[in-house]
Structure 1
Amino acid sequence: MVDLVSKRMFDSFQKYAPTNALCNESLASIETLKRFSHENRTRKKDFQNAHANLFAIKEDLPQVAIEMQRKACNGLTCYCIKSTSPVNESRRELTNLALKNILDYCPATKKVTLMNRIFNHLAQVYELKKYPYPQVEGTVVRDERVKRAIDATSLQQFQDTDGNDDDVYQGLLQRNTARAKKLLHDMRSKLSDFLLRFTSWVLYKLLPCFLNAVVVHPQDVEMLQQAGKTNLPMIFLPLHRSHLDYILMSFILLNNDVKCPLVASGDNLRIPFFGSLLRGLGAFFIKRRVDPIMGRKDLLYKTILHTYMNESLRAGHNIEFFLEGGRTRTGKPCMPKYGILSVIVEAVIDGTVEDALLVPVSINYEKLVDGNFVREQLGQPKEMESFWSAIKAIWHVLNSNYGMIRVDFNQPFSLCKMIKTFNTNGRIPTTFNKQLKSNPSSTSLYGTDVVSDEHKSIVESISKHVIYDCSFTQAVMSTNAVAFLLLNKFRNGCKAQVLVDALEELKLDLIAKGKEIGFVGDNLDIINYSIDLLGPGLVRKEKDKHEEYIRPVAMLPNVIELSYYSNALVPTFALDSLIAISLFAMDLSKGYVDQTDLIEHCTRLCDHLQYEFIFCKPCQTLEDNILGAIDNMIQRHECFSLEPRNEDTSSKRVYFNADMDDDNDVYIRPVRLYLNSKGKDHLLFLRSLLMPLVDIYAVTAECMTQLVGRNLHERELVGDILEYIRTQLRAGSLQYQESVSVDPIKNALKLFQKMDLVEIHQEKKIRLYYLKDEQDNDESVRVVYDKINAYRRKQTLDDDIFDKLATREDEDEVDDEEEEEELVEFA
């Protein structure tokens, strides 16, 4: 009876507590509930004491607080990084310390004169702190490691010729020496302090032509300046969204007296004039892809690259490179490439450099400066960069508006200490749960180089940690939020006020998840601003009987570009979405599911989508993250309850029953998650977020029957899958137009390769796909297809189940009111 009465009182207080209090406080504990009771109701002291004693009988519920203010400085959310940072932790609050627009930021000059005020940008770049940028080309050529590589390559070539003439060997030696110098000449950076300053002055004039602001947090800048005083090289690791990324990075660092880095750039950018300009701004050019067979044999190129990077670190250069490899084509962070980081990790392990500071960087754009990647996602080949294409792009950019850019520098952490964290006695600590392991790229330096398994695990763990942190700390821009809501919640359009309310709710969800919101102001103004930036090709306003409707352009090819902006938010809700998808794939006829079964289904689905998202950091467990997401769905949106309605639970614990087995050992009864009708709409919304990906993977699996008894070129296979998806869309079998996308198809093929269904033969630029010998039949393909297609099963009992729940809860509402009246009389 006591249990039932306390439960009813808890529901009563939760129902009538003020809305603003619910937003800023947690109702997750009885102590918090008593505080709300004290603040909002005037009771006699004896009733308050009796009230407290009554609640003391009930076991406390788990406390889940919702952070309404900015957390500590970016990157301090993980204990394994906190312990490795040489920089003092300093909290920052957005309410107390405003963001700064770098385009307006001109520090006071040493001498305030009329000329300095007139030519303030020129005076600023003139008075910037000067750093030495030594050239290491000569050191690399003389390095013993390079000489040994030249000798080894020449000897191997000499043996392959079956010759015995010493002149032939000497000729090979000279030829490889010349090749080594040419490789280094084409690769090297010519970082120039003068060119940096001149380019900075030009950017001060050009960036305001197409950008409203380039925003950074001043505490981030102070943190980098403090890290620079350690005299350790800093390794900047930004997410890669645009060619403007590395220019902005150097621009921001230079104008805040932080040493500019050398930037690893793809050799596709080594074009006339612009290639030389980038080289002078710090770019060194590396091969984007390496042939898996020839790459293993090309010892000379690998040695030149390794030695150049090692000598640059030893000379005190900072380095910047993109863990994702290339720019993201979908808006989601890409899986990391391990090549360059493996070189730096080995340099620290073998003592070439004492240590290095890794600095994850999050960059986000209100509107992407590079245009869009619609052509590539529709299966058309990428257009290679050229001088005239660069000129055309620059002219277009200068005559457009791209809004604001937000750059967040995360907490620097010691690579040496991080290696020790992930390497306890030569192994990953047993407290770290088994992660979803992905195969390294066969075309990256990491895939072709000889790296010990121990070092591979360390490199992979650090890389995924960095990508996860960058994604988590990336600020949400207004265009991301509006595109996310329109594409996933209001695909058929909605009234402006409905979108305003949804945006407010989304902001609360993001704050609860610890995300930083990169926009402020009235929600209606934010929506109108975002719609203007996105343009009528993506979002349209319509008026109907004096009411304004806002509709997304959810058709090809526009929907692919709109999904790019929406996808910036999808990783935040990825686990929630997979829980909803897994839930609807289970039997819901009983009105509840076992939490263990739900976690098992969700884990299996995470494994299928392991090339799309990093679901947890290497120092976390996937199961804990899933449980955290379930708790959030219970607390924030009441999707589930932990006990059924209309059931006497006076003799039961809230979360589990402890029973005794035959051996007198305590075991825990599986937790049951009971569906709530209130959470139906939210569950359906979450399910829709990743259903396009599940559809793509299922259709790709179905198309694997084309490989039975034959092989196909990658372009032909992907083209056939895209055409089949279009056919299914026209037939109505698929619902989401954004399913026509190349990147998820390629990721699905990687998954099938890991599942030992598909094999890939690659030589030069040709990739052939074929089924493994033991899997070369329709039945094996059907097995894989069924595993994925099980999550597409549409619940036919949804409406009936939730209608019954709603009816039952309405009856409970009447019972609640009657019991509350009796409780008041009793009190």
Structure 2
Amino acid sequence: MSKDQSPLDLAIVGNTLQVHPSSISSDHPSQEQSLLEPYARFRSQPFDALQELGLHVTGTGWRSYDKIIGRDIFYPGFSDNMKSMVMRQEKLRLRISELAQKRVEVEIHEGLLGPKGLEGEEQEHRTRRLARRRQIETELHDVAESWTDKMICKMDSKVFIRGAYYFATQLLTRAYHQGIHVSSQEVLQLRTVAEKAAVKKQSMIFLPCHRSHVDYVSLQLVCYRLGLALPTVVAGDNLNFPVIGPFLQHAGAMWIRRSFGDDQLYTTLVQSYLDTLLQEGYNVECFVEGGRSRTGKLLQPKFGILSFLLDGVLSGRVEDALVVPVSTQYDKVIEVDSYISELLGQPKPKEDLFQFLSASNVLSLKLGRVDVRFHEPWSMRGFIDQQRTRLVRSPSIESMYDAALKRKILTTLGYKVLKEINDVSVVMPTALVGTVLLTLRGRGVGKSELVRRVNWLSERVRAQGGRVAHFAESTTEVVIDKALTVLGPKLVGRVEGLPEATFYAEDRFQLSFYRNMTIHLFVSQALVCAALYTKVKWGGGPESQRMAYTELANYVLFLSQLFRAEFIYPTESLGETLDNTLRGLEQDGVILTFRNNLVSNEIEFVELHPDERASGRENFDFYCFLIWPFIEASWLGVVSLFMLVAPQHHPDNEAWLEYKTVQDRAQLLGKTLYHQGDLSYFEAVNKEALKNSFTRAEDEGIITVTRSRDAKVSPKVKMDFEWMPSRDAEGKLVADGKLWDLCERISQSRREGKNRRDGTTVRTRVLGLADLVGRDLFDDAVMDAEGQASRVRRRRSIQTRAQL
């Protein structure tokens, strides 16, 4: 593949810092340069390995981590100093005082501290209340101090962090044998910004995407090796298990609960800790998506911790902080096997030492490399001021701490960060190969065709402004061979004994994880091609497959709304994005547009380009193959809502159903439809896609969901009356009404072919299966209600006997 003159990449491989050609191709190849000797292996060179470990422990040369850019960290007493600063936060002290006063008010109301509001109230009562309030404040202060000690990262020992760096690098680079790669231009820019931020005592807020537990390890290693102050990493306390938890906490992790509930003290404590970090200029890292993506593409933003960080600057408690979106990409993600199990309905395993050690078994594998890319840092204060100018139209509005306005700014912040993560992401060779294998019509593909399509896809990525991981001096064939080796035979099979090496997707579900790493670049093209496919699928000549622009635009709008929880869209308006997409597809020879040259030169019709027809629609099909699994998942999500229709003559037609159970049964329905040939893609049954579909149904008012503040009480769901399908005289569900119309609307762009049957018989069978699964749901609801009533009667009987 060709290369370009863009800045070189740096690769951290063990103790080696290497220079590579840029991730964006060029015609001027560069030689790799090894700047440091690699780590010795204990088995083959025990003396050298022990000597290198000693260099880290004693802090020889760059390993000392003494001349870092940023606030001083890893010194004795760091934790005590941090805890003291947190406990002195004005916001925390006011909250403790407020909660103590509220408790005193409750005790007064309960008559525990004397009557309230009487004239001539005795001094004794006032003294008791004041003493009680001080006692509660002291108790709350002790609780907050204890929580703080458990929460904060404990960067107290430089010897520890040197050893931790050595240990983590050894483990990580044994798994990812090609090392951690970063862009030299981005790193130089980051260091320059970090130096200026250190002078101003400003924090850098690293906001990476989250696909693996390796994410925070790799970023910490990059910061350590490049001399940047390690960020405090916001992490869920599910990882705080014996041995590993304390290790991570002393390496930079801060532990927070997975859910805060209504605990006002804990919420304020987290805010106070983050305020302290930002006020003092300590770097922070948190994941804008919240949890790890199980599907390979970016998740929608989670606003919990992001809200705390924004609030610190928005309220004025923090002057400013610098935001650094970060992309971390992998040739192969260690946890993908477990992700697939979770997506297929298996419960998520609890994090513990056993799970960690089990995961460590893969460290002997060769998983390729990790790419860490940094977007240009920008000012949080500048962003807020820009949003205030855009959102606050009336100059008389002075307050920036308006709840509605804050929500708008927070939402914009989340999606801005996600877009910039996508902007700097690198498409890995495994993602290229996986995408090609899942977007071809045949059972398999020959080596020469695979090379041709990978080259084509690489050019398409660059044309969309994306980046392709560098290939050094390797040919495309060599790069593909390496990618196939990393993916392994469990994901990509090879047919032996043929004249040409022929490969096929062995595990399409798992390969979809890597395909989804590229889909963000082509969402607009995929939506347009899926819309046009509603005409193309019926066959015939060019004129019969021609689509009016207004019809195309309406269906693209429909699909974009359908997938608003799935994809991160361009920031331009839909009309502007659509016109740009059509222009690009026409330039690429995929489609042809017909304009009204007599009036306004507006597009009137769209059809397939003659060249695309001549080539067998391979490029048009590529975009359709990208989006078809998501269309199938949305169709399944709507079909599964027919389960919420009560069976005829059921004793409780108005029953509320367990929301989680409904989603689980929807997945079971999907598996049945797939194996019976009514669903084309098995990945359409993944629980994340179904969850998004149910969320959309709730937003649209198709279903109603009730949730309790008590986490132990499961949410319940029922169908909205206006969307309720009808039954015929025999009690069978009828393919009619608003819900079925929505199914049919989605189905217009579903993939046709030999893998799926269609027709009236299929409608009857699909609805029959949904009805069958739904009947079990309602029977379970009745049994639960009877069981609950029985428990109530039994409890009342016991109470009656006790009174007697």
TM-score, with length taken from structure 2? 0.76
Is 1:694 equivalent to 2:631 in the alignment?
yes
Is 1:489 equivalent to 2:433 in the alignment?
no
1:397/1:681 Cα in 2 relative to 1: closer, same or farther (>3 Å)?
Answer: closer
Which consecutive residues of structure 1, in runs of 5 or more, have no partner in the other structure?
1-22, 25-67, 75-90, 108-114, 430-449, 644-654, 660-666, 800-827
Residues 686-726 of structure 1: CA deviation (Å, up to 9, x unaligned) = 21211111111111112112234333323311211111111
Residues 525-565 of structure 1: CA deviation (Å, up to 9, x unaligned) = 22221121111111111124432211111xxxx33221111
CA distance in 1, matches of 2:289, 2:522: 21
Alignment of structure 1 residues 283-362 onto 2, 5 Å: 283-290=253-260, 295=261, 297-362=262-327
* Aligned equivalent of 2:345: 379
Residues 609-648 of structure 1: CA deviation (Å, up to 9, x unaligned) = 000001113xx22322222222221111x122234xxxxx
* Aligned equivalent of 1:577: 526
* Aligned equivalent of 2:717: 770
Q: Which of residues 594, 605, 616 in structure 1 aligns to 2:559?
A: 605
Q: Which of residues 504, 520, 527 in structure 2 aligns to 1:551?
A: 504
Q: Which of residues 368, 384, 393 in structure 1 aligns to 2:359?
A: 393
SS in 2 for 1:469: helix
Q: Is the 8 A contact 2:24 2:468 kept in 1?
A: no
Q: Which of residues 76, 86, 96 in structure 2 aligns to 1:140?
A: 86
SS in 2 for 1:423: helix
* Aligned equivalent of 1:711: 656
1:422/1:703 Cα in 2 relative to 1: closer, same or farther (>3 Å)?
Answer: same
1:511/1:794 Cα in 2 relative to 1: closer, same or farther (>3 Å)?
Answer: closer
Letter in 2 for 1:716: T
Q: Is the 8 A contact 1:705 1:778 kept in 2?
A: yes
CA distance in 2, matches of 1:93, 1:380: 40
* Aligned equivalent of 1:657: 597
SS in 2 for 1:234: strand
* Aligned equivalent of 1:363: 328
SS in 1 for 2:715: strand
Stretch of structure 1 that moved more, 544-553 or 204-213:
204-213
* Aligned equivalent of 2:731: none
Letter in 1 for 2:644: L
Offset of residue 99 of structure 1: 10
Tell which has more relative contact order, 1 or 2 (C-alpha 8 A, sep 6+): 1
1:190/1:775 Cα in 2 relative to 1: closer, same or farther (>3 Å)?
Answer: farther
* Aligned equivalent of 1:37: none
CA distance in 1, matches of 2:551, 2:194: 50
Offset of residue 777 of structure 1: 2.1
Offset of residue 784 of structure 1: 4.0
1:105/1:184 Cα in 2 relative to 1: closer, same or farther (>3 Å)?
Answer: farther
Q: Is the 8 A contact 1:192 1:282 kept in 2?
A: no
Q: Which of residues 125, 145, 156 in structure 1 aligns to 2:102?
A: 156
Is 1:197 equivalent to 2:148 in the alignment?
no
The alignment covers a number of residue pairs equal to 660
Stretch of structure 1 that moved more, 218-227 or 187-196:
187-196
Alignment of structure 1 residues 63-74 onto 2, 5 Å: none
1:760/1:216 Cα in 2 relative to 1: closer, same or farther (>3 Å)?
Answer: same
CA distance in 1, matches of 2:145, 2:34: 40
1:197/1:614 Cα in 2 relative to 1: closer, same or farther (>3 Å)?
Answer: same
TM-score, with length taken from structure 1? 0.74
Is 1:501 equivalent to 2:501 in the alignment?
no
SS in 1 for 2:153: coil
1:383/1:419 Cα in 2 relative to 1: closer, same or farther (>3 Å)?
Answer: same
Offset of residue 357 of structure 1: 0.9
Residues 199-222 of structure 1: CA deviation (Å, up to 9, x unaligned) = 112234333322221111111211
Q: Is the 8 A contact 1:712 1:770 kept in 2?
A: yes
CA distance in 1, matches of 2:640, 2:488: 36
1:156/1:788 Cα in 2 relative to 1: closer, same or farther (>3 Å)?
Answer: farther
Q: Is the 8 A contact 1:495 1:547 kept in 2?
A: yes
1:120/1:581 Cα in 2 relative to 1: closer, same or farther (>3 Å)?
Answer: same
Q: Is the 8 A contact 2:591 2:608 kept in 1?
A: yes
Offset of residue 187 of structure 1: 1.4
CA distance in 2, matches of 1:100, 1:457: 47
Q: Is the 8 A contact 1:775 1:781 kept in 2?
A: no
Q: Is the 8 A contact 2:432 2:454 kept in 1?
A: yes
Offset of residue 411 of structure 1: 0.6
1:99/1:334 Cα in 2 relative to 1: closer, same or farther (>3 Å)?
Answer: farther
Is 1:252 equivalent to 2:222 in the alignment?
yes
CA distance in 2, matches of 1:102, 1:165: 75
Offset of residue 386 of structure 1: 0.7
Q: Which of residues 606, 611, 620 in structure 2 aligns to 1:673?
A: 606
CA distance in 1, matches of 2:72, 2:661: 51
Residues 393-431 of structure 1: CA deviation (Å, up to 9, x unaligned) = 22x0332221111111111111111122222164389xx
Q: Which of residues 688, 704, 722 in structure 2 aligns to 1:743?
A: 688
1:494/1:765 Cα in 2 relative to 1: closer, same or farther (>3 Å)?
Answer: farther
Residues 729-782 of structure 1: CA deviation (Å, up to 9, x unaligned) = 111111112112010011111111111222333330544242365446226995
Q: Which of residues 459, 474, 492 in structure 2 aligns to 1:539?
A: 492
Alignment of structure 1 residues 785-796 onto 2, 5 Å: 785-793=740-748
Letter in 1 for 2:112: D
Offset of residue 794 of structure 1: 6.1
CA distance in 1, matches of 2:602, 2:579: 16
Residues 156-205 of structure 1: CA deviation (Å, up to 9, x unaligned) = 34445632334685464444333322322221111245132221122343
Q: Is the 8 A contact 2:241 2:351 kept in 1?
A: yes
Alignment of structure 1 residues 100-115 onto 2, 5 Å: none
CA distance in 2, matches of 1:773, 1:160: 41
CA distance in 2, matches of 1:579, 1:273: 52
* Aligned equivalent of 1:36: none
Which consecutive residues of structure 2, in runs of 5 or more, have no partner in the other structure?
10-21, 40-49, 114-127, 395-400, 646-653, 727-734, 755-804
Offset of residue 102 of structure 1: 10
Q: Is the 8 A contact 2:637 2:690 kept in 1?
A: yes
Q: Which of residues 470, 479, 497 in structure 2 aligns to 1:526?
A: 479
1:670/1:203 Cα in 2 relative to 1: closer, same or farther (>3 Å)?
Answer: closer
Q: Is the 8 A contact 1:236 1:359 kept in 2?
A: yes
Letter in 1 for 2:611: K
Task: Give the fraction of aligned pairs with identical amino acids, expressed as a percent.
Answer: 23
Is 1:185 equivalent to 2:149 in the alignment?
yes
* Aligned equivalent of 2:675: 730
Letter in 2 for 1:783: K
Q: Is the 8 A contact 2:343 2:687 kept in 1?
A: yes
* Aligned equivalent of 1:626: 578
Is 1:512 equivalent to 2:463 in the alignment?
yes
Offset of residue 103 of structure 1: 10
CA distance in 2, matches of 1:241, 1:455: 28
CA distance in 2, matches of 1:742, 1:451: 36
